[in-house]
Amino acid sequence: MSVELILTVVVLTNLRLLGASRLGACIRTVGLQGLLLGLLPLATGGRLTTLHVVVLAVGSMVLKGFVFPRLLFWALREAHVTREVEPFIGYTGSLLIGGFMLGGAVWLGDRLVIGGTTDLSWVVAVAMFSILTGLFLIVARKRAIHQVLGFLVMENGIYIFGIGAIPGIPLLVELGLLLDIFVAVFVMGIAVYHINREFDHMETDKLDVLRG
Amino acid sequence: MLGILTGIIILLASGFLALLIRGRRLWASYVGAGGVVAAAVLGVVSSARILSSGGVESLRLAWALPLGELHVSVDALSAVFLLAVFGMSGLSAVYGIEYLAPYGGRKPLGVSWFFFNLLAASMVMVLVARDAVLFLIAWETMSLASFFLVAFENERAEVREAAWTYLVATHLGTAFLLVMFALLGRAAGCFDFDRFGELKLLSGNMGSVLFILALVGFGTKAGFMPVHVWLPEAHPAAPSHVSALMSGVMIKTGIYGLVRVLTWAERPVWWWGYLMVAIGLTSGVFGVLFALAQHDLKRLLAYHSVENIGIIGTGIGVGLIGMSFDLPALVVLGFSGAFLHVINHAIFKGLLFLAAGAVLHETGTRNIERLGGLIKSMPWTGLAFFVGAAAICGLPPLNGFVSELLIYLGAFNGAKSMAALVAAPMLAVVVGLALIGGLAAACFAKAFGIVFQGEPRSEQAAHAHECVGLMRVPMLFLAIGCALIGLFGPWVVSVLAPAVECVSGLPLSSVAGQLATSMRPLTLVAGCGVVLIMLGAGFALVRWRLLRHRSVSTAVTWDCGYVRPTARMQYTASSFAQPLTALFSPVLRTARKAVAIDDVFPGHSELETHTPDVAGEFLFRPIFSGVGALFSRLLWLQQGRLQVYILYVAIALVTLLVWKTR
């Protein structure tokens, strides 16, 4: 598989996330994205296939491709929800904004010059697009599950950025990031479950009673 | 140096240990106070040694934190303040054991001791830190530790409010310091104090900006008018041994900071000294005026702290004017007067707060109007308060007189100068100090007279007992300290010479030479003091001999020959101070609520006066409510929705990114 192919699929998965209303589909899409990203360093052909990168790649594939989706499906089942109803920004609008974000990301990617990455010129643009998609999902959706997914997509973007900037990001930072995400998904999964149990819903827009 | 660092470690260790002790009521107190006393002995010895040798001891260690490094050092200037910090910490801690004992069952004393020891340790750190980052960390620790100490009785609403006032005030002050150190760090390229000094960063227009920032930032902690507003709130609210420590030495760290910053000046701009004199005299006169109008004993003492900080500020102002006009006599006399007053104020204000605490401890009230006649039931406390009161009024032969005399001498020296630019402010200093002294005497005549003399005005006052020995010992030490510095003034002043050298940049020989010229009046005063004490003792002896074989009957005070005199016939604190408060009513703005007597057969009538703080009421309240109104217009930003907040973050991040890659 070539790098370009993987990156293209990542962009497509991002667009699918913006357009999908079923939460189960979204979780599967994020899982697929995680698997693809695990393949990314292996696909670069030798330059990045050192032992620690391989270990890291396999670790993140297992976590993002299997463990996180399983946790999120569990939360979904416990919370008895299947789809996002009435998001702040509708699906067509989301896709439209997604197009603009992709344009902006490419523009930014051209501007951001990262040393020695001529063969991975697309990487920065896709990374930016993933980060923006993640942020957008967090902002535009109500279900707490979607917040977790947005967070994961954002982290995927940072991961892609890390690939582009290697050897810029040391192993320790990468590991720390992965651990961070793991704890975050774990905590948020539990929080979603508890929010649901206490309030009979998991729509974060109804948590605004603390406003001054 | 090693002794002082060990002191800090002992303080922290005993504080943590006290925190761990639960259950057994007084063990936490013994551990906490024991640590403070051990550290105090060690610290006093080390800093006295450094002060007497006049040397500088420092230590640099590598530091894992970003910015700055662990650079500590003790010079004569630090040593002067360290003496006060260690001495007062030890004595207040001993007093605190017994003072806190009644709270033992209800409150976790370990927590209180933890913060007490932390406060002492952080004050020491503030004085020895030679790196801006380290200094600010110590400064902030000091503020927070004292905040928690003030909030000791947090179940009472007024205590909580006082603690919040203090927290807000101290953080606003720190904000100015942050800006100042950021500017200094940018100019020097590092945060090392020595580097600031080498570069003489306080010069030109930038120097004036830095001076103003330091004045506001450190002045808030010190309690200069009008940023003194937290003092009269926080000192009454805190437990008395904490008030003694905070008022006696913690506010002096503000003075230390200001003086330390001044050592980085090549040569002060002429108006700095004028400003210091103006602020000092304003604080002095207004502080004592507001003290006069108070009914709360500890609040009255808090206002006197403002007054004394004003006197110290005036001394610094005299020194600064001397520096900018090249008059070494003014420099030496001004700064040595200010430094001696720092130590003196620590001693007598500590003493007064401890004595006031004993009164509060035994009677349960701070209201002067409900006290009276305590000298009969609490003779030790009464004597201690009397010594402290005489010292704070600047009466010979006690220590307050010596330091004020030095500032007077400096001012007279300047007033003789031909240059009107120097003579005018110096005359103002002489007049201002005289006014402050007179009003202070009136105020303490009121405080001592109403609280300790006459007849008890309430049940609580009538049933007061003398406090126990552990509370008496620190007061005794401090009272003796007042007398010793008063009698050995010339010697004490000569010890301070290296500290003056630190600030003024004059060579030590020149400082000593200038001090030698002021030795004659000081020695004369000390001699007069000895004669005065001997005369007093002689008269007491004569009285005792005359009365020995005669029968002596005692009657109630204000007997006036009535058949049934009552305590309510006495002068009250308000009526005693009324002529003066009426004279200054445009400044004091005392609120008065009275039911007038207008009948032939008068019925029930009452009078209630309340003097709010003029700066708090007419300056800060409008400012803060204005700021509050301004911010409430931004309330629409607070949507209460997580998504919106993340949107704010996202917008900010994307904007920054686009801006940077433009």
* Residue B414: per-residue pLDDT: 86
* Residue B501: per-residue pLDDT: 85
Instruction: Indicate the helix (H) or strand (E) that contains B43.
Output: helix B27-53
* Residue A170: per-residue pLDDT: 58
- Judged by a CB distance cut-off of 8 A, whether residue A138 touches chain B is yes
Given an 8 Å threshold on Cβ–Cβ distance, is B642 in contact with A207?
yes
Disruptive mutation site among B637, B639, B642, B656 for chain A (greatest number of A CBs within 10 Å): B642
> Mean pLDDT of all residues in chain B?
88
Q: Which whole number is the average pLDDT over B224-252?
A: 91
For B190-207, the pLDDT digits (tens) are 888 888 888 887 778 888
Angle at B303 between CA B301 and CA B308, to 5 degrees: 90
Q: In whole angstroms, give the CA distance from residue B424 to residue B318.
A: 12
With CA atoms as reference, the chain B residue closest to A154 would be B650
The confidence band for B29, taking pLDDT boundaries of 50, 70 and 90, is confident
Cα atoms found within 13 Å of the Cα of residue B564, Cβ hemisphere only: 0
Nearest by CB to B650, which of A139, A142, A208? A139
Give the amino acid at A40: L
Q: Which whole number is the average pLDDT over A107-115?
A: 71
Single out the residue of B546, B577, B568, B338 nearest to residue B443, CA to CA: B577
The confidence band for A198, taking pLDDT boundaries of 50, 70 and 90, is low
Given an 8 Å threshold on Cβ–Cβ distance, is A140 in contact with B643?
yes
* Residue B539: per-residue pLDDT: 95
Given an 8 Å threshold on Cβ–Cβ distance, is B657 in contact with A108?
yes
Q: Which whole number is the average pLDDT over B128-156?
A: 92
What Cα–Cα distance (Å) separates residue B41 from each residue in B7, B47, B54, B84, B354? 9, 10, 20, 12, 20
* Residue B2: per-residue pLDDT: 85
Q: In whole angstroms, give the CA distance from residue B149 to residue B130.
A: 27
* Residue A58: per-residue pLDDT: 82
For A145-158, the pLDDT digits (tens) are 788 888 888 888 88
- Judged by a CB distance cut-off of 8 A, whether residue A112 touches chain B is yes
Give the amino acid at B188: A
Given an 8 Å threshold on Cβ–Cβ distance, is B641 in contact with A138?
no
With CA atoms as reference, the chain B residue closest to A129 would be B654
Nearest by CB to A139, which of B638, B647, B661? B647
Residues of B with Cβ-Cβ distance to A209 under 8 angstroms:
640
Statement: residue B392 has pLDDT above 80:
yes
How many angstroms away from the CA of B161 is the closest CA of chain A? Answer: 21
Nearest by CB to B641, which of A108, A111, A208? A208
* Residue A189: per-residue pLDDT: 67
Cα atoms found within 13 Å of the Cα of residue B253, Cβ hemisphere only: 33
Statement: residue B434 has pLDDT above 90:
yes
Statement: residue B129 has pLDDT above 60:
yes
For B537-567, the pLDDT digits (tens) are 999 999 999 988 888 887 777 677 777 777 7
The confidence band for B139, taking pLDDT boundaries of 50, 70 and 90, is very high
Q: In whole angstroms, give the CA distance from residue B395 to residue B391.
A: 6
How many angstroms away from the CA of A157 is the closest CA of chain B? Answer: 14
What Cα–Cα distance (Å) separates residue B129 from each residue in B42, B140, B191, B501? 19, 13, 11, 20
How many angstroms away from the CA of A115 is the closest CA of chain B? Answer: 15
Q: Which whole number is the average pLDDT over A156-176?
A: 67
- Judged by a CB distance cut-off of 8 A, whether residue A115 touches chain B is no
Q: Which whole number is the average pLDDT over B8-22?
A: 88
Task: Note whether B199 and B270 are within 8 A (CB).
Answer: no
Place of tokens 């009365």: B547
For B578-589, the pLDDT digits (tens) are 888 888 888 888
* SS3 (DSSP) at B104: coil
Q: Which whole number is the average pLDDT over B612-631?
A: 87
Nearest by CB to A204, which of B643, B654, B661? B643
Statement: residue A114 has pLDDT above 70:
no
Residues of A with Cβ-Cβ distance to B643 under 8 angstroms:
88, 138-142, 204-205
Q: In whole angstroms, give the CA distance from residue B386 to residue B392.
A: 10
Given an 8 Å threshold on Cβ–Cβ distance, is B640 in contact with A209?
yes
Task: Note whether B5 and B60 are within 8 A (CB).
Answer: no
- Give the B-side interface with A, CB within 8 Å: 635, 638-644, 646-647, 650, 654, 657-658, 661-662
Please name the residues in contact with B128: beta carbons below 8 A apart, sequence gap of 6 or more.
B4, B72, B73, B74, B78, B82
The answer to which of A70-84, B34-48, B403-417 has the lowest mean pLDDT is A70-84
For B146-174, the pLDDT digits (tens) are 999 999 988 889 999 999 999 999 999 99
Please name the residues in contact with B75: beta carbons below 8 A apart, sequence gap of 6 or more.
B50, B56, B498, B502
Q: In whole angstroms, give the CA distance from residue B620 to residue B552.
A: 57
> Mean pLDDT of all residues in chain A?
77
Q: In whole angstroms, give the CA distance from residue B498 to residue B255.
A: 17
How many angstroms away from the CA of B633 is the closest CA of chain A? Answer: 12
Q: In whole angstroms, give the CA distance from residue B262 to residue A177.
A: 47
The answer to which of B40-44, B109-113, B298-302, B585-589 has the lowest mean pLDDT is B585-589
The confidence band for B311, taking pLDDT boundaries of 50, 70 and 90, is very high
For B75-85, the pLDDT digits (tens) are 889 999 999 99
How many angstroms away from the CA of B170 is the closest CA of chain A? Answer: 26
Statement: residue B188 has pLDDT above 80:
yes
For B255-291, the pLDDT digits (tens) are 999 999 999 888 888 899 999 999 999 999 999 999 9
Place of tokens 């590092």: B190
Q: In whole angstroms, give the CA distance from residue A168 to residue B371.
A: 74
* Residue A200: per-residue pLDDT: 62
Where on the phi/psi map is residue B294: left (φ > 0), alpha (ψ -120 to 50), or beta?
A: beta
Q: Which whole number is the average pLDDT over B417-444?
A: 89
Q: Which whole number is the average pLDDT over B287-301?
A: 91
Disruptive mutation site among A113, A114, A139 for chain B (greatest number of B CBs within 10 Å): A139
With CA atoms as reference, the chain A residue closest to B648 would be A139
How many angstroms away from the CA of B653 is the closest CA of chain A? Answer: 10
Please name the residues in contact with A78: beta carbons below 8 A apart, sequence gap of 6 or more.
A193, A196
The confidence band for B305, taking pLDDT boundaries of 50, 70 and 90, is very high
Give the amino acid at B333: L
Residues of B with Cβ-Cβ distance to A139 under 8 angstroms:
643-644, 646-647, 650
How many angstroms away from the CA of B155 is the closest CA of chain A? Answer: 26
Give the residues across from A143 on adjacent strands.
Answer: A203
Q: In whole angstroms, give the CA distance from residue B423 to residue A21.
A: 84
Q: What are residue B594's phi and psi, to 5 degrees?
A: -135, 145
Q: What is the rounded end-to-end Cα distance, in angstroms, of chain B?
A: 53
- Judged by a CB distance cut-off of 8 A, whether residue A140 touches chain B is yes
Place of tokens 């040397």: B55
- Judged by a CB distance cut-off of 8 A, whether residue A204 touches chain B is yes
Q: In whole angstroms, give the CA distance from residue B534 to residue B540.
A: 10
Q: In whole angstroms, give the CA distance from residue B4 to residue A211.
A: 50
* Residue B635: per-residue pLDDT: 83
Q: Of all residues in chain B, what percent carry a pLDDT higher than 70?
A: 98
For residue B518, what is the DSSP state? T
What Cα–Cα distance (Å) separates residue B647 from each residue in A128, A195, B63, B349? 16, 22, 38, 55
Please name the residues in contact with B396: beta carbons below 8 A apart, sequence gap of 6 or more.
B486, B525, B528, B529, B532
For A20-35, the pLDDT digits (tens) are 888 888 889 999 998 8
* Residue B18: per-residue pLDDT: 87
* Residue B226: per-residue pLDDT: 85
- Judged by a CB distance cut-off of 8 A, whether residue A175 touches chain B is no
* Residue A117: per-residue pLDDT: 52
Statement: residue B491 has pLDDT above 70:
yes
Statement: residue B348 has pLDDT above 90:
yes
Statement: residue B39 has pLDDT above 90:
yes
Statement: residue A97 has pLDDT above 70:
yes
Residues of A with Cβ-Cβ distance to B634 under 8 angstroms:
none
Given an 8 Å threshold on Cβ–Cβ distance, is B642 in contact with A108?
no
Give the amino acid at B486: G
Domain assignments of chain A as residue spans, ordered by start = 3-206
Single out the residue of B119, B55, B420, B366 nearest to residue B232, CA to CA: B366
Statement: residue B99 has pLDDT above 60:
yes
Comparing B388 with A39, the larger pLDDT belongs to B388
What pTM did the predictor assign?
0.81
Statement: residue B386 has pLDDT above 70:
yes
Task: Note whether B50 and B72 are within 8 A (CB).
Answer: no
* Residue A105: per-residue pLDDT: 87
For B350-359, the pLDDT digits (tens) are 999 999 999 9
